[in-house]
Structure formats: C-alpha cells, structure tokens
Amino acid sequence: MKAQFASLKGDEFMSRQAISPAIGVTGIGVYTPSSIRTYQDTAMAVNMPEQWVLSRTGIHQRHVAGDQQATSDLAAAAAQAALASAGLSAEEIGLIVLGTTTPDEPCPATACRVQALLDARNAVALDVSGACSSWLFGVKVAQEWMASDTRVRHAVVIGSEVYSRFLDFSDRATSVLFGDGAAATVLSRVPDSEGFAPITLASDGTRADYACIPAGGSRHPASTGTLRGGAHYVHMDGRAARVFVNEIFPQLIEEALSSAGVESSKITAVVAHQPNPVLLRKAYANTGMPEDKLIVIGDRVGNLGAGSIPYALAQAVVEKRLRVGDKLLLLAFGAGLTWGSAVLTWSGATLRDPTRFRIGVPSQSTTE
C-alpha cells in the first residue's frame, strides 16, 4: 500500500530539505479542564456495557470543557504554561500557530483570540487546519518562518480542541473517543545538534469524508435542516479510519528515520497521534519497535486531536523519559486525510508544576 500514499512529491521534496538554523522545543505546557467524563458515563450514554467501551477504545476518562470555556481559553492556558517552561514573556513571542478542528468561530482565526488572551502584542497569529496532524503542520510553518525571518526568535505552536461541543453522545463511532484539552510548545533556535530534522508532510483529499464535520461551512451553512440532521457533529467512518492508521503507521516511521538519517535503535521515545489506545498499540505492534518506547496518553484524556502529540510529548517529560540529545519519533495522521512525521532531538524543556495543569489527574465526574 505504500505507493498509495506517495503523493505531493514536490512538497515532500521541499519538506526534506535541511533547515538552518536548527529549531527545537524550548518550552512545553498543557491544560485540561477540571470536569471528567468516565468510561462508565460513556457506556451509559451509548447504551453499551462498560467493558465494551474499554475493550474497543482503552479510554478510561476524558476531560470536558466548562460551559464558558472555548478552544482559545484552553489554548491560552497551555501557552502560558509553555511560556513559563521556556522562561519567556508573551511579548517575546513573534509567532503563534494554532492547530484545531474546533475553532471558537469560523472567523477570525482562533489564534488571534489566543494572542489577545496572552497579550502577545508582537506576535503574528494564525490557524492551521490539518485536523489531528495540525500540530506538526504548525511546527513546519513555524520552522520555515523562523528560518526565513530572523526577527522571530520564538514561536508558540498549540494544539487545542473542545470536541464535546461537536459530538452526538449517542453515536458509538465518535462519542466514545474524543476529549477536550490543549498542549503548547515554544519553538526557538537551538544548537545544530538538536531540534527538528526535516519534516515530511502529505495529504489525500480524495478521502476527506472518512472523518468530517459536514455542516457549518459554505457548502452546508447552518440551517434548521442541518441542525435536525446532526450535521454539525463529528462524523467518522471508523473502519476506514482504522485501515488508514494501520497502513500509514509503518510508512511514517520509515520516512522519518530516512529523512533524519537515524536508525530505529537510536530512538528514545515514539510520540504519535492518539486516536485511541487500542488502535494505537495495534498499529505500533506491527512496526517491530520496542513496546516501552511508545508514549500512550489516550487512556487518560482520549483523542485530543491537534493536541494529542504535544500532550504526549509533555507526558514523556513528566515521566522523565527524555534527556538533552535524546531522539524522538513524531508521527501525525488525521482527517483530510493528512499525515506527517519527523525526528526531534530533545533540547531539555521541562514542564513547570505538572500537577497544576492536571496531566492525567482526575478531578470531578460529569455525565453525558
């Protein structure tokens, strides 16, 4: 199936070129809302046994945004944590790139809302819409931007989602998977031995209907009909999504290692998008890489979309899995279809007060 994914050769060639200067992660932060939706809550909502939810997904709990919280609020909280991690003020940020599938509104860019909340008056703010691949797409934008504009010394790349506003809680294909949360990274120039190796990105729009929110745009604007039909909720072909993940996973690893010129034995941790723990572990098991290198967060937060990879990166930091110079494998895939991969050499960013930002720490329960 590899040839099926060999698209966008020109863009892929550009993505493989060496980046100078080196850009790496110098700060990291996360935010999850306090309310928790458990697998028992989920089972009750979809009228299925509790064990069915766990055996199909492996997700024990997810966080749920409060009534007054939007995607930008979660994103700003995560960005503030990342700035504290990097020891920077908001005024020192020259670029904010936000990846999300659940923006505050169609216009303006949710990144502009985040800029205002942070008071990052010197930053250019923009959104990227690559679904669950958005954070890595955003890193590529920031990487290229910083390489071409020396005035931008630091960028914040965020993945933030409030999926709970876009779920039909009786839909077994989607309501059991997605959670609310955000994670942010500060990108800065780092020594040449650190940072991101060339990032490979690709898309296949012929399969855009595998996962989508059909209404609310110019093709199907909001109407009483779209509301009655549930067209503003996430729709997903679960079987097609599973096939895609299993097919693309080994190719992503091969491309990342090849682009970076790194052997798999040199990889300290594998940080991938987290569709759900069951699917993730099955896809990873087929690669032959050691099981203990895979970072799994989906059991505690569910599918965070654009926030999954940076959140998993933060989890690796909390677990003290990373040291300066360690190499991580980053694997992204999502609706669009979109996918991408890269090797990141760690620069030593730490998470300030992880308990404050509730990485995997249950708070209170809510029902669906």
Question: What amino acid positions are annotated as catalytic residues?
Answer: 132, 273, 303
Is the CB of residue 186 less than 8 Å from the CB of residue 156? yes
Helices 50-57 and 277-285: crossing angle in degrees, nearest 10, is 40
d(CA 210, CA 244): 10
Cα-atom radius of gyration of the chain, to the nearest Å?
A: 19
How far is CA 4 from each of CA 137, 203, 204, 283, 357, rounded to the nearest angstrom? 21, 11, 10, 18, 41
Query: Which of 351, 260, 367 lies closest to 31, judged by CA?
Result: 351
Helix (H, G, I), strand (E, B) or coil at 287: coil
Q: Chain-centre distance of CA 27, in angstroms?
A: 16
CA dihedral 133, 204, 250, 190 (to 10 degrees): -40
- Please count the residues of the chain: 368
